[in-house]
């Protein structure tokens, strides 16, 4: 979903952040090719032309050393934009009026009461209907581009989602990692002196961590083979007997969330990161080294 497309497309005045000097001069120290996406060059001139036509995206320039960080941020943003545009085209996602209108109407439908009131007041002040407003915004090529970008990133995110089937398959392939270690666990059912199962027939406590088992019980359990039942013995002042059982197969049910996190980490569940890997993006620009000031 596009974030704040409505107001970023309309409310911000175009000249609010107009640059104070020609962009070509500002970026004269940049190489002719500032980066590549899908092995295609991204040129300095393309960037200068774009920001010249979109002055609202250019900040008020600061003094050095902050200026270098501003320039780097602008260059990276342009390369990333070109990356998304090429990727979208490769996936059959094109910037169209219809796509832009669909996204805009979805955004409007999702506005809270205060934001919708602000939008309606703005339309009333300009004596414009909602349909006229939508038609005007959807005709903006830059807005269409961002709508296509949003669909591309959603497509990538959907491809990276972890399904229940993914979790099941991962568990089967790594089952040995989740098996119960006999040095850490022991499995047995306990009977009281009357031969009744401790804990009840329905839910007997059979799987035990060895560190939690009384030494008297553990000593007996370690002498038994699977399926064997001991004679009565005393542990903690009670007469007991135990039947040793095989360690159970590991269960997936309590591990789903943990496995999901592992898979997500392996896949780097990040649509932007996935896009960078697909495109092989490179940045051939001077490093600002100050941080994000935009």
A 10 A CB-CB count for 27 gives 20
Q: Does the domain spanning 180-244 belong to CATH 3.60.21? A: no
Question: Is this prediction's pTM over 0.85?
Answer: no
Please state the domain extents for the chain. Answer: 5-161+274-283, 180-244
3-class state of residue 96 by DSSP: coil
Peptide bond into 65 cis (omega under 30): yes
Q: What angle do CA 27, 14, 148 make, to 5 degrees?
A: 80
Edge-to-edge strand ranges of the sheet holding 33-37:
40-43, 33-37, 282-283
Which residue matches tokens 């040793």?
A: 244
Q: Residue 181 to residues 114, 176, 187, 201, 213: CA-CA distances in angstroms?
A: 58, 10, 11, 26, 15
pLDDT in tens, the chain (294 residues): 333 444 344 333 333 333 444 899 999 999 999 999 999 999 999 999 999 999 999 999 998 889 999 999 999 999 999 999 999 999 999 999 999 999 999 999 999 999 999 999 999 999 999 999 999 999 999 999 999 999 998 888 787 788 899 999 999 898 888 888 999 999 999 999 998 998 776 667 788 999 999 999 999 999 999 999 999 999 988 999 999 999 988 878 778 888 888 887 776 557 788 899 889 999 999 876 544 434
């Amino acid at each position: 979903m596009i974030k704040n497309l409505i107001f970023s497309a309309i409310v911000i005045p175009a000249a609010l952040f107009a640059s104070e000097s020609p962009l070509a001069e500002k970026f004269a120290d940049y190489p002719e090719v500032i980066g590549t996406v899908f092995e295609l060059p991204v040129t300095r001139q393309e960037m200068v032309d774009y920001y010249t036509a979109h002055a609202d995206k250019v900040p008020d320039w600061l003094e050095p050393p902050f200026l270098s960080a501003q320039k780097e941020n602008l260059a990276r943003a342009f390369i990333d934009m070109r990356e998304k545009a090429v990727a979208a085209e490769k996936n059959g996602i094109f910037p169209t009026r219809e796509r832009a209108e669909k996204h805009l109407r979805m955004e409007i439908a999702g506005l809270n009461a205060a934001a919708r009131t602000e939008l309606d007041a703005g339309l009333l002040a300009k004596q414009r209907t909602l349909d006229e407003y939508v038609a005007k915004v959807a005709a903006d090529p830059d807005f269409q581009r961002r709508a296509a970008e949003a669909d591309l990133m959603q497509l990538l995110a959907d491809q990276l989602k972890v399904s229940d089937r993914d979790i099941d398959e991962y568990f089967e392939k790594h089952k040995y990692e989740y098996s119960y270690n006999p040095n850490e666990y022991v499995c047995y059912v306990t009977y009281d002196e009357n031969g009744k199962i401790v804990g009840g027939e329905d839910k007997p406590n059979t799987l035990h961590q060895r560190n939690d088992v009384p030494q008297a019980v553990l000593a007996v359990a370690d002498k038994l083979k699977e399926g064997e039942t001991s004679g009565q013995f005393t542990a903690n002042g009670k007469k007991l007997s135990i039947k040793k059982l095989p360690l159970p197969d590991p269960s997936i049910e309590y591990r789903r969330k943990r496995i999901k996190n592992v898979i997500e980490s392996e896949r780097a569940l990040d649509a932007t990161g996935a896009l960078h890997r697909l495109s092989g993006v490179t940045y051939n620009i001077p490093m600002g080294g100050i941080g994000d000031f935009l």
